[in-house]
Amino acid sequence: MQQAVKPVIAGSFSALAWQDNTLRLLDQRLLPAREVYVECTDAAQVATAIVDMQVRGAPAIGIAGAYGIALQARVIATSMDWAASLAESFELLEAARPTAINLSWALKMMRDRLARLPSDADVPARLLEAARSIHQSDHEANLAMGRLGMQLIRNHHKTPQNLLTHCNTGALATGGYGTALGVVRAAHEAGLVDTLFIDETRPWLQGSRLTAWEMERAGINACVHVDAAAGHLMKTREITWVIVGADRIAANGDVINKIGTYALSILAMHHGLRFMVVAPSSSIDMALESGDDVEVEERCAAELFTLGNQSIDAGIPAFNPVFDVTPADLIDVIVTEKGIVERPDTKKLADLMSHRHLH
Ligand code: MRU
């Protein structure tokens, strides 16, 4: 059983932290009302935290998965065949949430690390190092993307601008700082943000609960609206950019992200706004030819039929897909830590991933 532990110090938080040989996760189901950390000590607890969305956001899920393997290695302590001993945990974690490619990416990094270790290696210690390095590189990638995205915003207009975002792509969803919200943070630091408009992001409210909470702590001027207000806002508030993250990017540049992203891209095109996707290269799935080939995760009807503690179930079924696919031709630019790709397509993404990309 996971245990709830003490609240975080006001003003600072980390969605994931390794401490005293446990993984501490800030329980994102309880924010913003309560800041409670849960402790995980094995892979199964981490898998449950991912399924239950105590930890969420593509990069954060990947990092949690990596720590899950490190935890399980500590539980096993010694083994004659580590790959066999950890096989079940790899499977369990991999199945926890299907859409975010970062989870299978991070688990593959852990598998590869394990396969390369010499036979006399201290496996639990080496796997912990590998998980920490995945965590650290994600944080660094966020900072790099923040700078690149901020420059795009500055190139567009030198003055403070109104931006619009969807879901939560901040420090809560990553190894720290954020992807799309990292760009917003960097743009804010450069004096380029007037107001960040935040889609509430039905039904789980990542926008109104999590992004709003992060922006308040960061002192960034922000305002929440219902998802259905986005078109009206674009028409009336001189928004320059829609900035979102990704759970997976296909080889042709199609972006799989939180349900509602596709609709925003169409609205942005109609209103002449620029559309930026910010994601680390670990979100790019070169094995996925196009977004049409991805199986979109659906979650339970209860997420739609519960309002606070009240049931609003009228007795008919619900359709609750949690991601959608935005076609590459509706995207102005993809920002990664390796560089930016304007008007993405298969060739440009292949160049980026093979380091031939220049920006
Ligand atoms: O269901 P969630 O909250 O895990 O979905 C998160 C998103 O869709 C994010 O936009 C995406 O994971 C990128 S987070 C940096």
359 belongs to a structural domain: no
pLDDT of residue 136: 97
Confidence of residue 257 (pLDDT cuts 50, 70, 90): very high
CA 26 to chain CA centroid, Å, is: 15
Residue range 57-74: mean pLDDT, rounded = 98
Atom of ligand 1 nearest to the CA of 283: 13
Is 197's pLDDT higher than 70? yes
> Distance, CA 207 to ligand 1 centroid (Å)?
10
Of 106, 137, 168, at which residue does a domain stop? 137
Q: Place 5 in a pLDDT band, splitting at 50, 70 and 90.
A: very low
| Claim to verify: residue 233 and residue 90 sit in the same structural domain | no
Mean pLDDT of 324-330: 98
Indicate if 191 and 100 belong to the same structural domain. Answer: no
SS3 assignment for 244-301: ECCCEEECCCCEEEECCHHHHHHHHHHHCCEEEEECCHHHEECCCCCHHHCCCCECCH
Same domain, 228 and 148: yes
Could you report the per-residue pLDDT of 282-320, keeping only the tens digit for each? Answer: 999 999 999 999 988 999 999 999 988 899 999 999 999
Ligand 1 atom index nearest CA of 97: 4
At 10 the pLDDT is 37
Angle at 338 between CA 245 and CA 113, to 5 degrees: 90
CATH number at 309 reads 3.40.50.10470
Alpha-carbon gap, residue 13 to 171, rounded angstroms: 9
Judging by beta carbons within 10 Å of its beta carbon (0-12, 13-18, 19+), is residue 237 exposed, middle or buried?
Answer: middle
State residue 6's pLDDT score: 40
Give a yes or no: residue 94 inside a domain.
yes
For residue 162, list its beta bridge partners. Answer: 195, 239
- The tally of domains found in the chain comes to 2
Sign of CA dihedral 258, 186, 28, 73: positive
Task: Tell me if 146 CB under 6 Å of ligand 1.
Answer: no
Whether ligand 1 lies within 6 angstroms of the CB of 100 is answered as yes
Mean pLDDT across 139-144: 98
The residue-averaged pLDDT of 116-122 equals 95
The Å distance, Cα 206 to ligand 1 centre, comes to: 8
Least confident of 3-7, 165-169, 239-243: 3-7
Q: Identify whether residues 219 and 282 lie together within a single domain.
A: yes
Residue 125, CB-side half-sphere exposure with 13 Å CA sphere: 4
Both structure tokens of 106: 């991070």
pLDDT of residue 326 exceeding 90, the answer is yes
Structure letter (DSSP) for residue 302: G
Compute the C-alpha angle 122/50/95, nearest 5°: 80
Task: Tell how far the Cα of 167 is from the centroid of ligand 1, in angstroms.
Answer: 6
Ligand 1 atom with minimal separation from the 206 CA: 3
- 221 pLDDT higher than 70: yes
Give the model's pLDDT for residue 194.
98
| pLDDT tens-digit series, residues 82-99 | 999 999 999 999 999 989
Residue 109 maps to a domain: yes
The pLDDT value given to residue 356: 59
- At residue 357, the pLDDT reads 52
Sheet holding 239-244, edge to edge: 222-225, 193-199, 161-165, 239-244, 274-278, 333-336, 339-342
- Ligand 1 atom closest to 179 (CA): 15
Please, are residues 243 and 163 in contact by the beta-carbon 8 Å criterion?
A: yes
pLDDT at residue 121 greater than cutoff 80: yes
Shared-domain flag, residues 187 and 243: yes
Point out the catalytic residue in the list 138, 247, 285, 324.
Answer: 247
Residue 28 and residue 177 in one domain? no
pLDDT value of position 7 = 38
Measured by CA distance, the residue closest to atom 2 of ligand 1 is 57
Q: What is the mean pLDDT of residues 62-71?
A: 98
Q: Is residue 148 within 8 Å of residue 358, measured between CB atoms?
A: no
Q: Determine the atom of ligand 1 nearest the C-alpha atom of 59.
A: 15
Least confident range from 144-153, 217-226, 348-357: namely 348-357
Do residues 181 and 317 share a domain? yes
Whether 255 lines ligand 1, by a CB cut-off of 6 Å, is no
Secondary structure of residue 6 in the 3-state scheme: coil
**pLDDT for 2:** 52
Same domain (yes/no): 267, 130: no
Percent of the chain predicted with pLDDT > 70: 96
Picking from 137, 168, 188, the residue at the C-terminal end of a domain is: 137
Residue 254 CA from chain centroid, whole number: 16
How far apart, in whole angstroms, are the C-alpha atoms of residue 325 and residue 332? 15
Q: Within this chain, do residues 227 and 261 fall inside the same structural domain, yes or no?
A: yes
Ligand 1 mean position, distance from CA 247 (Å): 6
pLDDT of residue 173: 98
- Give the domain range for residue 272: 144-353
Q: Does the C-beta of 257 come closer than 6 Å to ligand 1?
A: yes
What is the CATH classification number for the domain harbouring 65? 1.20.120.420
Task: Find tokens 């042709």 and name the residue.
Answer: 252
**Is position 15 within any domain?**
yes
Averaged over 238-247, what is the pLDDT? 97
The verdict on the CB of residue 45 being under 6 Å from ligand 1 is no
> Which of 137, 155, 189 represents a domain boundary (last residue)?
137
Query: Are 291 and 254 contacting, i.e. CB atoms less than 8 angstroms apart?
Result: yes
- The finding on whether 169 has its CB within 6 A of some atom of ligand 1 is yes
Assigned domain for 251 exists? yes
C-alpha torsion sign, points 343, 344, 347, 349: positive
**138 has catalytic annotation:** no
Six token digits for residue 235: 């028409």
Report which of 172, 131, 179 is spatially closest to residue 283, judged by C-alpha positions: 179
Does 91 share its domain with 208? no
In a domain, 114, yes or no: yes
Give the distance (Å) from ligand 1 centre to CA of residue 322.
9
Give SS3 for 186: helix
Going from the Cα of 315 to the center of ligand 1, the distance in angstroms, rounded, reads 29
User: Considering the chain, what is the average pLDDT of its residues?
Assistant: 94
The predicted-structure confidence for 24-46, as pLDDT tens digits, reads as follows: 999 999 999 999 999 999 999 99
Tens-place pLDDT, residues 8-19: 333 578 999 999
> Residue 175 has what DSSP assignment?
S
Residues 257, 334 within the same domain: yes
